[in-house]
Each structure stands twice: as structure tokens, then as C-alpha cells.
Amino acid sequence: MLRILLVEDDDRVAGALTTALRRHGFDVHRVTTGAQALAAGEVQLVLLDLGLPDMDGVEVCRELRRRSDVPIIAVTARSDERDRVVGLRTGADDYVVKPFGAAELVARIEAVLRRSRRVDAAADARIHLGDVEIDLAGRQVTREGEPISLTRKEFDLLALLARQPGAVVTRDRILAEVWHTTWQGSSHTLDVHVASLRTKLGYPDCVETVRGVGYRLRTG
């Protein structure tokens, strides 16, 4: 049974969430403060209220992300776009604004878990692009055995595309997962990184632009 850490200080909200999640087969462990969340044992997913009584939930999110790759969904009443962006930038995998339905929350949990499992399954993979080898686990890229120097963001972008070779990855998803933002002003930065990757890998057509949608990695 998948164990969820629910960080929520409102008893009414926590009670409703706990009942709904248990009905869907989840094991729910509830805490009410940021300190308790940081002291909690191992879980498979965290539902984190950003408005906690003892510390800012954003700081809790940042610390949880520093410690592990556990999926985190921010559950909060903060609907301002800037708050959503801050949550994503500090490590949240998704963001749900109160009020919301149990069906929506469960769907988001399942989506986040699917993404997490795909990443785990691909973590040890080695992807080949002609004479270029991408070692996802070792975070290394080589051409004929010689290392190719990539920045952290360049590798993160390449790894995201390489985990789904041939599949189109949207610009919004790339910005969210690599730059942890939904701000479209970052699109130029993305384009620059794609151009740099094409040059460094030595295959100008390896990262294909799908106009109006995003990018995909061509390995054939």
C-alpha cells in the first residue's frame, strides 16, 4: 500500500482528505507542522500545505527536495501565479489550489507517480545517439568514449528528452521540470540550451523542434 504524508494543520480539511485517500487505497500519515513533516519517516508521496503554523511550507518543500526525490504535491489556498511558480521552483512536482475535488487530487497523485516511476525505470538507462552515449545514472555524455562537457541544465534537458526518445515533450513540461517555472519568458533560455545541445552533441537534427508544441529526441 502506497504511503502518503499529508501535511495539513486544518482538522476539517485533513479529515476529508484522509477519508477520500484511504477510500482509494492509500495509507495516509497526517502531520500538522513543518517540523513534523521534516521528522517523518519514509513515504512515497507528500501532500504539502504551504500555509503551516510553524514555518513556511515553501521552506519545507525546499528542505524535503534537498533530502530526497520523493514526489511532492503542494496543496494550498494560494492561487496567485507567483506562489505557484515559487512552489514549483522549490521542488514541488504539482500544485493543487483549494478548494478541489477528491477525484482531481487522486488523478494528480496518479499522474505524478506515473512520471516518477518512468524516471526510476529509466534511471540506469544508457541511450545511444549515433556514436554518442547518454548515461542517465552517471550524468555523463560521451562521444566515442570521450566526455562531452554539458552544463547542469543542458544535461537535465537532454535527460528529460532521452527518457522518452521519439516522444514529443512540450515546452511547458520542459520549463516546469528543468527550470521549475511556468513563466513563458523562459522560452528563449530553452531555445538557447537546445541550440547548444545540438552543437555539443554534433548532431544538428538530434533535437527536433515540433513547432508550437515542444521538442523530441531523434535516436534513429
Residue pair 47/29 in contact (Cβ under 8 Å)? The answer is no
- What is the mean pLDDT of the segment spanning 132-140? 86
CA torsion angle for 158, 140, 128, 212 (degrees, to 10)?
0
Last residue of a domain, one of 93, 121, 149: 121
Whether 27 and 76 map to the same domain: the answer is yes
Measured CA to CA in angstroms, residue 210 lies from 52, 76, 80, 161, 201 at distances of 42, 34, 31, 13, 19
> Are 135 and 69 in the same domain?
no
Phi, psi values for residue 97, rounded to 5°: -100, 130
Based on the structure, what is the number of domains in the chain?
2
- In a shared domain, residues 147 and 213: yes
Q: What is the CATH number of the domain that holds 52?
A: 3.40.50.2300
**Claim to verify: residue 38 and residue 78 sit in the same structural domain:** yes
Please, is 80 exposed, middle or buried when counting C-beta atoms within 10 Å of its C-beta (0-12, 13-18, 19+)? exposed
- Contacts (Cβ under 8 Å, ≥6 apart) of 69: 116
pLDDT band at residue 127 under the 50/70/90 scheme: confident
Query: Rounded to whole angstroms, how far apart are CA atoms 190 and 59?
Result: 27
Cβ count near 61 (within 10 Å) = 25
pLDDT digits (tens, 9 = 90+) for 65-103: 888 888 999 887 766 666 666 666 677 888 888 888 888
Residues 59 and 93 in one domain: yes
pLDDT tens-digit readout, 16-57: 999 999 998 999 999 999 999 999 989 999 999 988 999 999
Q: Is the pTM of this model over 0.75?
A: no
Residue that is last in its domain, among 70, 90, 121? 121
User: Cα-Cα-Cα-Cα dihedral of 215, 66, 98, 171, to 10°?
Assistant: -10
Please give the grid coordinates belonging to residue 170: 512540450
Task: State whether 109 and 151 are in the same domain.
Answer: no
More confident residue, 19 or 172: 19
Considering the domain architecture, whether residues 111 and 56 belong to the same structural domain is answered as yes
Segments forming the whole domain that contains residue 190: 124-217
CATH code of the domain covering residue 151: 1.10.10.10
